[in-house]
Structure 1
Amino acid sequence: MSSIPLKSYKSFVPSNFHSYPLIEYLKARFPYHNEEDWISLVENQNVLINGNPSFPDLILKTGDEISYSPKPNSIREPDINKDYSILAEKENFIVVNKPPNIPVHPAGRYRTNTLLNLLENDRGAKFYPVHRLDRETSGIILFAKTAEFRLVLQRLFEDRLIRKEYITFVYGKFPEKLVSEGYMGKDPDSSIRKKQSLRKESLGDDKPVLTEFSLISYDPKKDISVLLVKPYTGRIHQIRATLFSEGFPVVGDKLYGKRETAFLDFIQTGESDLLNEELGHNRQCLHAYSLSFVDPTTSEENNFHCPLSSDLCHLAADIPSEYVA
């Protein structure tokens, strides 16, 4: 159980939950409590609607503000990897080496066990995430020290003025270089709602994607290629979905790996040695390696690198030392 102080959380009712009873909304959106617990929390005024006490059967409207104040020890969260480090610190931002198995923001069952909460608790200060990495992904991530500078950095991301590189491990002998361009959107052939796919023509709501891959090394005994990745667009699951669509699944990937139903197995029964052995690792082998940008407030050029996470270094032979340390 985390010792990090619990925070209050707010959400706004989206249009697809208009006319839902409060208790049904809470169960659907926030599954870390069961129905009985949510009813108790509502009745004890730990849940407020637009700042006011409520009752479980209240019918919600689009835009209603839901405020939730957790009770101590009321949320049973999974364990996390707390072994983060600070790569660099400037007046307006810090650069963090995120370990695998820790979410950046509160989500799902993770409310206090997050990198943001851990960082704020350790440093005794408030920080503002600028971008995100998946829970399983390791590597470099940026936090602003003020809300105003977060907007500065987010504009750089939107204008594609922040350059990022990743390292990933895939099955198969990858070409020396591959530039993949197309459109990304929901995978029409998948039963998993959030799964994306790359295609050469748009199906309507798809977003254009452009990703460059370069081969770092290939281990013929394990049939694993190590790649340096430069995403020129920033779409959800862009790297993993692109590699899957190109025929090179990421090692350890439950959703874009060798078997899609591995993700469903994980959701239903959690991690297992058998599943990890099948996928090749206990997490998706994706690492945010570098990040570069010019600070528009100082004109300073910033170039940061994050050595490959230690749990990935043994997965393939002949990885050049410049990526390891």
Structure 2
Amino acid sequence: MPSLFPKVHLGEYLFQRFPYHSREEWSELILAGRVTVNGNREDQTFPLSVGDRIEYLPFAEKIKEPEVNSDYSLLFESDEYLIVDKPANLPVHPAGRYRTRTLLTFLEKERGEGTCFPVHRLDRETSGVIVFAKTKDMRGKLQTLWEAREVEKKYLALVYGAFSGEKVCEGFIGKDKEASVRKKQKYSEHPFEDSKPCRTDFSPLLYDSEKNISLVLAKPVTGRIHQIRASLLGNGFPLVGDKLYGKRESAFLDFIQNGDADRLNVELGHHRQCLHAFSVSFTDPNTQKRMEFVSSLAKDLCPFFPFFDSKYVT
């Protein structure tokens, strides 16, 4: 990973850029020789330059895997694929600190290793419908449908602001190079460096004027990373509970350093990003039958609009 800031010391750069380790933990890793710059061991005060390559090997025994919500359920199963209702706070597959507590590992523990293959992705905090193939061949067939934009996806999102009228967000998305969090994406109506075209169609469903919160239906046409969240923020409607695309992006760094603090939850409006994958619809590659799978609005989101009925979703 190249350094972004010349003349920054190694220890300080690592702590500021990757705060999932404390300053003391990075110091310990450097002193133990588990951090290298361009293949060489260096001390904490080593000055970095643009183009330097940093690699590190964590202490396996010190990596504590976070707790997750394993309360998932099966919506449908055929001989070729599974439709799962995923709760919030459950990553789909192993990544980062999550190794054994993921939806994929839980499914494989039940069904056997190599029996489930994620067809698409959902963020850890996003709840709702997700599709798994039972063979690599079917995963390829289903992913072809996704790539050809022959899958209709509907999401329910809770946003701050009065969302009025249908809105087609057709623009461009790519890395936000001005953000303090390196994985953050930016939506713009105009192309920018390394951006890709994207489109999401939005429709207002309900509005609570007292809380200034809208329930919005989102239909992504393209499938870019963080597309719905970035598009909403780019149009002035931050997602309720979102630590990265909510009211304050630095809330994400607060979360990494301090965990799920009550103060942070109050500030953002909820303990997780209020985005729910409501439905997925596609033509079964084998039977040629049109299939639609629906997940009711997650229980933790229902109190925002207790009288919401899925008949509003079309």
Residue 203 of structure 1 and its aligned partner are, at CA, apart by 1.4
Query: In the alignment, what sits opposite 1:216?
Result: 205
- SS of the residue corresponding to residue 278 of structure 1 reads helix
Instruction: Give CA deviations for 1:117-166 in whole Å, capped at 9, x if unaligned.
Output: 01111233520011110000000000000111111111111111111100
Query: In the alignment, what sits opposite 2:181?
Result: 192
Q: Distance between the aligned counterparts of 1:269 and 1:323, measured in 2?
A: 39
* 4+ residue runs over 3 A deviation: 34-40, 56-60, 321-324
Query: In the alignment, what sits opposite 2:14?
Result: none
Instruction: Give CA deviations for 1:257-315 in whole Å, capped at 9, x if unaligned.
Output: 11111111111111110000000000000000000111222212111111011000002
The Cα RMSD (Å) is 3.1
Residue 204 of structure 1 and its aligned partner are, at CA, apart by 3.1
Q: Distance between the aligned counterparts of 1:243 and 1:209, measured in 2?
A: 13
- SS of the residue corresponding to residue 283 of structure 2 reads strand
TM-score, with length taken from structure 2: 0.80
Query: In the alignment, what sits opposite 1:275?
Result: 264
Instruction: Give CA deviations for 1:183-208 in whole Å, capped at 9, x if unaligned.
Output: 11122331221111111221131100
Query: In the alignment, what sits opposite 2:277?
Result: 288
1:158 to 110, 123, 147: 147
Query: In the alignment, what sits opposite 1:94?
Result: 82
Q: Distance between the aligned counterparts of 1:138 and 1:300, measured in 2?
A: 26
Query: In the alignment, what sits opposite 2:10?
Result: none
CA 1:229–1:38 in structure 2 vs 1: closer, same or farther (change >3 Å)?
Answer: same
1:172 to 161, 179, 189: 161
Counting aligned pairs with the same residue, the percent is 52
Query: In the alignment, what sits opposite 1:201?
Result: 190
Q: Is residue 298 of structure 2 the alignment partner of residue 315 of structure 1?
A: no
Q: Is residue 97 of structure 2 the alignment partner of residue 109 of structure 1?
A: yes
Query: In the alignment, what sits opposite 1:23?
Result: none
- SS of the residue corresponding to residue 185 of structure 1 reads strand
Query: In the alignment, what sits opposite 2:48?
Result: none
Q: Distance between the aligned counterparts of 1:168 and 1:254, measured in 2?
A: 15
Residue 226 of structure 1 and its aligned partner are, at CA, apart by 0.3
Aligned amino acid, residue 92 of structure 2: V
Query: In the alignment, what sits opposite 2:295?
Result: 306
Unaligned runs of 5+ in 2: 4-16, 41-56
Instruction: Give CA deviations for 1:95-136 in whole Å, capped at 9, x if unaligned.
Output: 000000010011111000100001111233520011110000
Q: How many residues align?
A: 279
Aligned amino acid, residue 314 of structure 1: P
CA 1:124–1:39 in structure 2 vs 1: closer, same or farther (change >3 Å)?
Answer: farther
CA 1:264–1:16 in structure 2 vs 1: closer, same or farther (change >3 Å)?
Answer: closer
Query: In the alignment, what sits opposite 1:254?
Result: 243
Query: In the alignment, what sits opposite 1:6?
Result: none
Aligned amino acid, residue 130 of structure 1: V
Q: Distance between the aligned counterparts of 1:211 and 1:58, measured in 2?
A: 42
Query: In the alignment, what sits opposite 1:145?
Result: 134
1:119 to 98, 107, 125: 107
- SS of the residue corresponding to residue 266 of structure 1 reads helix
CA 1:297–1:321 in structure 2 vs 1: closer, same or farther (change >3 Å)?
Answer: closer
TM-score, with length taken from structure 1: 0.77
CA 1:171–1:118 in structure 2 vs 1: closer, same or farther (change >3 Å)?
Answer: same
Unaligned runs of 5+ in 1: 1-14, 18-27, 43-55, 61-67
Task: Out of 182-191 and 171-180, give the one that drifted further.
Answer: 182-191
Q: Distance between the aligned counterparts of 1:219 and 1:57, measured in 2?
A: 53
Q: Is residue 66 of structure 2 the alignment partner of residue 78 of structure 1?
A: yes
